[in-house]
Structure 1
Amino acid sequence: MRKIAGLVMAAGLVIAIVAGCGAPSKDAMVGKLKSESQTLSQENYTSTAMMTVQTDNNSQTYYVQTSYEGPDKYRIELGDSNKNINQIIVKNPNGMFIVSPSLQKVFRFNGDWAQNQGHIYLYDQILQQIVSSNFKLSQTGDTYSFEMPVTPANDVVTKEQVELDKNLQPKKVVLYDSDNQAVVLIDFKTFKKGVKFQDADFDPQKLAQSGTAKTTTVDEAFGYILPADTLNDKLAEAEPEAQDDYLLRYTGPYDFTLSEWRPNPGTDGIPSASLVDLYGVPALEMNAGSAKQLMWLDNGVEFALTSAHLTDAQLQQIAMSTLGQVGK
């Protein structure tokens, strides 16, 4: 498993906060959180945050804007450090979607991502995650700090720290690896309740066709991206299958392929796929015959990583190592 460099200052800050005392009892806090969560089920809110993801290869900063309409509609916009929106995750009564406004591309799939990995972006789900966990509670000043194991368990992050203010509104979420190093830091900047939305705000087709989303400019041509982490497999072949369409074959203990191409506009329905968060870049995981496949969009390029031997965590490990890489 790859080693992940720590966000030392952020980790230190959280540890200092945890050291506080005088927190209310867990039972009293659970009651408050449940009451707040029940209120939110029929209420709307928006939030903005900056997310830092730290790996051995590099550090990536993302802008996250969340819009929630109770009881089960949401939109999570993911952008770069300059707040240029690149992709949008949408949940509405018709299903779940990944939208790329710059590519006018929509992926439709099913799943309960918000109740699992996606809870870190959604205030209502953060509250439910705390209530359902065996958390440790502490308080420093007007800040409540909750420490709990990550659920569902995975090989990338093992522990979660959540900070809420005195009104139980989100301040910070930190995810740690098994070495107690901070992997993901989400710093909430704004939070507002009682927001009114239009139906178009959760319509993936209209979001894909909108000309309002600011996106990073990409060149028409691109060189193929080599993952920084290959689990010691070696690149055996990198061949263009067509213009702007590459197939990279790796051989070794895992024997995987990485395909890269410019996607066509439109909607692709993948009902059997499940959403996996590469922390700033959403991906879809699905079965491809006897193999598993992970597919994602980054900087105007679509990627598909396929192997019959990689675990889910290893697929994500290799995929994340392509982010921020320069084409050859």
Structure 2
Amino acid sequence: MMKRLTITLAIVLGAAVFLQACGEKSQESVMKRMDKQLQEMKGYKTKAEMRMNTGKEEQVYQIEVWHKKDDFYRVALSNQEDEKNNQVILKNEDGVFVVTPALDKSFKFQSEWPENSSQSYLYQSLLNDIQQDKESNFQVTDTHYLFTTKTNYQSNNNLPYQEIYVDKKTYTPVLVKVLDTDQKPVVEVKFEQFQLNPEFNEKDFALDDHPQTDEDKAENTGEKTEQVFSIMYPEFTAGAELQEEKELTIENGTRLIMTYDGEKAFTLVQEHKETVPSSAGFTEVSGEMIDLGHSIGAISNSMIEWNYNGADFYLASDQLTREELIEVAKSVVQQEVK
């Protein structure tokens, strides 16, 4: 009787081990498989749609990511309704650049991007967030592995979590939902395709290899434009009120200085150029690259600078916190007064 029971128990245990081996993979095994794939691949190309609900209206961006091993990146961010503000993030052996093709303008950053913050559209950044969060949650669906992890957004503490959906066949991300403190999705990145080990040309990551459209070239002739610029006001002011608006004439345009007074005083400067040089080159900035939603900016000490709709913006304050400074900058395009 005892011998029969032992045999039965052995069969049951063996079957359990067999079923486990044939069943769903564990969180650790999925992470190892993703890490191995990332280490062995020569690079990847992917396209994604990013929807952001951080303001009054939803913003939709098309993203194209090229990554080549040895830390080369090209991330093109475009918005069909706002093509003049399309931008390209480029990282090569010379540094990190943000290019605005329509203006032939580039900023060079002394930056550790993309390692210094979560990037919802980069494979390696998502995997790093998964690996760094020892308390991440893991679930399995019919078609995906789902990780819920903490984020590492230096510029936004209001987006602490993310859901990362990984394809069970390819082990590549298919959907990312960035959640607010109430666990509601605020940013959603949906990957449309993911190509591993594509071929790249030597010029694919070169700063001067970004062909412009005929419309872009027409805007860069150095001739005066007929465009009427609108003055932009921040919707969020941290309680400060507009005290003074001073307009100055500068070379090729106008400079508007807005002074906001209160417990959290700040100054907002807007510069509108009537002509655009045919070859603007790049401006080197020492600040950290930051995503403002409407554009990519640079933050350093107590100042943020960015370009939007052909105008240069500078926001400075020694009283606003870093988070408040970023929130003011993000809100500038949300209220437009002509």
- Same fold by TM-score greater than 0.5: yes
Look up the equivalent residue of 2:171 and give its one-letter code.
L
The answer to whether the 8 A contact 1:48-1:191 is kept is yes
Alignment CA distance shift 1:280-1:75 (3 Å): farther
The residue that corresponds to 1:234 in the other structure is: 241
Q: 1:301 aligns with which of 303, 311, 315?
A: 311
The 5-angstrom pairing of residues 1-328 of structure 1 reads 24-40=25-41, 43-81=42-80, 84=83, 86-117=86-117, 119-134=119-134, 135-152=136-153, 154-166=156-168, 167-207=170-210, 210-212=211-213, 220-242=227-249, 243-262=253-272, 265-270=280-285, 272-279=286-293, 281-287=295-301, 292-328=302-338
Q: Using structure 1 for the length normalisation, give the TM-score.
A: 0.83
Instruction: Note the C-alpha offset of 1:321.
Output: 1.1
**CA root-mean-square deviation:** 2.3
Alignment CA distance shift 1:279-1:137 (3 Å): farther
Please identify runs of 4+ aligned residues in structure 1 that moved more than 6 A.
Answer: none
Alignment CA distance shift 1:83-1:223 (3 Å): closer
Instruction: Note the C-alpha offset of 1:213.
Output: 8.7
Equivalent position SS for 1:262: strand
Equivalent position SS for 2:52: strand
The percent of aligned pairs where both chains have the same amino acid is 27
Look up the equivalent residue of 1:145 and give its one-letter code.
L
Q: Using structure 2 for the length normalisation, give the TM-score.
A: 0.81
Alignment CA distance shift 1:144-1:323 (3 Å): farther
Instruction: Note the C-alpha offset of 1:325.
Output: 4.0
Look up the equivalent residue of 1:274 and give its one-letter code.
E
Q: How many residues align?
A: 297
Alignment CA distance shift 1:204-1:327 (3 Å): farther
- Deviates further, 126-135 or 97-106: 126-135
Equivalent position SS for 1:127: helix
The answer to whether the 8 A contact 2:235-2:334 is kept is no
| Greater relative CO, 1 or 2 (CA 8 Å, sep 6+) | 1
Which deviations, in whole Å up to 9, do the C-alpha atoms of 1:49-78 show, x marking residues without a partner?
Answer: 111111343221111111111120001111
Look up the equivalent residue of 2:158 and give its one-letter code.
V
Alignment CA distance shift 1:258-1:47 (3 Å): same
Look up the equivalent residue of 1:131 and give its one-letter code.
Q
For residues 147 and 268 of structure 1, what CA distance do their matches in structure 2 show?
39
Look up the equivalent residue of 1:48 and give its one-letter code.
K
For residues 219 and 204 of structure 1, what CA distance do their matches in structure 2 show?
29
Q: Structure 2 unaligned runs (5+)?
A: 1-22, 220-224
Instruction: Note the C-alpha offset of 1:214.
Output: 7.2
For residues 53 and 89 of structure 2, what CA distance do their matches in structure 1 show?
22
The answer to whether the 8 A contact 1:37-1:128 is kept is no
Which deviations, in whole Å up to 9, do the C-alpha atoms of 1:258-299 show, x marking residues without a partner?
Answer: 1112366231112x2111122462111113xxxx11111222
- Deviates further, 155-164 or 197-206: 197-206
Equivalent position SS for 1:302: strand
Q: Structure 1 unaligned runs (5+)?
A: 1-21
The answer to whether the 8 A contact 2:159-2:178 is kept is yes
The answer to whether the 8 A contact 1:283-1:294 is kept is yes
Alignment CA distance shift 1:148-1:280 (3 Å): farther
Look up the equivalent residue of 1:186 and give its one-letter code.
V
Instruction: Note the C-alpha offset of 1:322.
Output: 2.0
Look up the equivalent residue of 1:142 and give its one-letter code.
T
Instruction: Note the C-alpha offset of 1:311.
Output: 1.7
Instruction: Note the C-alpha offset of 1:87.
Output: 0.7
